[in-house]
């Protein structure tokens, strides 16, 4: 029992060190507004470290010095010795002791650990059953969710076949954003991953760094779904989403059970600040523009937008603007958006590309004398 308890404590200590290192790394990444999904993968690695007993095998080189090599051999031999001396032969012939006489303080520690695990497991199971009983009368809505007077706040409940519960008061664009948030949880298997992470923490309930890892994982998991919900949205749409987040967070005590994912849980202030500053890595747009001031108007336009308007501007007016500029200035204008997801980024890239191309077309080239034309020379 002694060796088992010590091995488990060592495993918990290694997991705690990994959790502390991950917390420091995630803190720096959050300041840089890094994608929260990356942070979630990091916390999942920490959770595995709490349950995997294997370490990194290291083979140290043998010292060249003879005294150091002899000392290393001595340490290795001492490490291979048993922790306890063998029992004398006389003890083997004695009568076996009763079970209560063979108990040691290590057995008491193991019993305390087991009681803590059972208490947390029962507490989580009772909370899950209570929440499931409260929403038993929820009815299915046309958008595939469940709602009713018994649903106080948006959340997802279930392990294998999770369901999304939304209050009836949530309507309009805010409902669509919250629904996307909850469905992102389901698509990423969060209703199953969160209880598994909670089970790992229950095994290490005595380690405060394990609870730190669980809280940080829940926070980053919610932030990752927030990022997916507002992807491609304008600043005004993000503000509406943040208002919904703040509204449900202020309604009362959040739902916190291992098998549920509540919309308003976690640090609401940090989530809102992150949403207003978040910009997905690699997000943006690339536009290609070619301008020829040859006195003959010609216009080629290749761009598409997801919405009808962007920041108060009708996206269809972008083509009309560049068409008018091309024929009014008697220029040959080619404009194409190569890639992009956000309408604002696409429009910004188009205008910047046109400005750079027009600036280059109006500059004099010291290598060319006379008219900037290749007619009659090729």
Average pLDDT per run of 10 along the chain, which is 378 residues long?
Answer: 82 88 87 79 88 59 59 53 51 60 77 89 86 83 82 80 82 77 83 88 89 88 80 69 71 58 62 66 76 89 85 86 92 88 86 92 77 63
pLDDT at res. 52: 83
Please report the pLDDT score of residue 254 as a whole number: 56
d(CA 56, CA 197): 23
- Residue-wise pLDDT for 123-160, tens only, equals 888 888 888 888 888 888 888 888 888 787 788 888 88
Two structure tokens written together for 274:
């992150």
Q: What pLDDT, on a 0 to 100 scale, did the predictor assign at position 83?
A: 47
pTM above 0.85, yes or no: no
Q: Which of 157, 166, 186, 164 is nearest to 258 (CA)?
A: 157
What beta strand segments (E) does the chain contain? Answer: 139-140, 146-147, 155-157, 163-165, 260-262, 285-292, 298-302, 309-310, 313-314, 332-340
Going by DSSP bridges, is the β-strand pair 163-165/155-157 parallel, antiparallel, or unpaired? antiparallel
- Residue 60: inside a domain, yes or no? no
- Asked if 224 and 320 sit in the same domain, the reply is no
Cβ of 258: how many Cβ atoms within 10 Å? Answer: 22
Q: Is residue 373 part of a domain?
A: no
What is the overall mean pLDDT for the chain?
Answer: 78
Instruction: List, for residues 170-221, the tens digit of each pLDDT value.
Output: 777 777 777 878 888 888 888 888 888 888 888 888 889 988 898 888 888 8
196 in a structural domain: yes
What Å distances lie between residue 219 and 271, 309, 337, 338, CA to CA?
Answer: 8, 33, 36, 35
Distance of CA 169 to the CA centre of its chain: 28
Residues 214 and 300 both lie in one domain: no
pLDDT computed for residue 259 by the predictor: 54
Both 121 and 250 in a single domain?
yes
Judgement on whether residues 12 and 138 belong to the same structural domain of the protein: yes
Q: Are residues 195 and 301 in the same domain?
A: no
**pLDDT at residue 81, as a whole number:** 47
In a domain, 72, yes or no: no
Domain holding 306, by residue range, is: 285-361
Rg of the Cα atoms in the chain: 32
User: What does the H/E/C string look like for 87-142?
Assistant: CCHHHHHCCCCCHHHHCCHHHHHHHHHHHHHHHHHHHHHHHHHHHHHHCCCCEECC
Domain tally, the chain: 2
- Distance set, CA 15 to CA 5, 56, 206, 355 (Å): 15, 13, 12, 55
Residues 161 and 270 in one domain: yes
Q: Are 53 and 7 in contact (CB under 8 A)?
A: yes
Contact 279, 307 (CB under 8 A): no
Do 175 and 302 fall into the same domain? no
316 and 249 fall within a common domain: no
My answer on whether 111 and 151 are in the same domain is yes
Any idea what the CATH number is for the domain that residue 348 is in?
3.30.230.40
């Amino acid at each position: 029992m002694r060796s088992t308890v010590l091995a488990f404590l060592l495993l918990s200590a290694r997991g705690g060190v990994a959790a502390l290192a991950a917390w420091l790394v995630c803190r720096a990444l959050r300041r840089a507004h890094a994608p929260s999904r990356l942070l979630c993968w990091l916390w999942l690695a920490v959770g595995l470290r709490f349950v995997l007993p294997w370490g990194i095998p290291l083979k140290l080189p043998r010292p060249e010095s003879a005294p150091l090599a002899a000392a290393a051999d001595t340490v290795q031999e001492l490490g291979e010795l048993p922790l306890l001396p063998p029992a004398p032969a006389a003890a083997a012939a004695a009568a076996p002791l009763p079970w209560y006489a063979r108990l040691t303080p290590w057995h008491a520690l193991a019993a305390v650990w087991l009681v803590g695990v059972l208490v947390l497991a029962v507490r989580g199971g009772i909370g899950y059953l209570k929440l499931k009983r409260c929403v038993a009368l929820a009815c299915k809505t046309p958008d595939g969710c469940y709602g009713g007077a018994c649903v106080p706040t948006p959340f997802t409940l279930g392990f294998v076949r999770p369901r999304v519960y939304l209050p009836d008061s949530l309507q309009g664009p805010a409902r669509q954003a919250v629904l996307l948030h909850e469905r992102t949880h389901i698509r990423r298997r969060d209703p199953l991953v969160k209880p598994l992470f909670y089970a790992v923490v229950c095994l290490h309930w005595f380690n405060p760094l394990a609870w730190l890892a669980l809280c940080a994982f829940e926070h980053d998991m919610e932030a990752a779904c927030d990022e997916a919900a507002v992807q491609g949205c304008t600043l005004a749409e993000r503000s509406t989403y943040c208002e919904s987040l703040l509204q449900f967070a202020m309604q009362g005590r959040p739902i916190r059970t291992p098998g549920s994912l509540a919309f308003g849980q976690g640090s609401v202030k940090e989530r809102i600040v992150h949403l207003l500053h978040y910009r997905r890595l690699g997000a943006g747009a690339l536009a290609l523009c070619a301008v020829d001031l040859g006195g003959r108007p010609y216009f080629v336009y290749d761009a598409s937008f997801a919405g009808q308007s962007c920041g108060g501007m009708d996206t269809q007016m972008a083509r009309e603007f560049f068409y008018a500029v091309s024929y009014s200035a008697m220029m040959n204008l080619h404009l194409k958006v190569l890639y992009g997801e956000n309408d604002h980024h696409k429009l910004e890239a188009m205008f910047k590309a046109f400005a750079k191309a027009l600036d280059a077309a109006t500059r004099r080239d010291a290598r060319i004398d006379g008219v900037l034309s290749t007619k009659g020379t090729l």
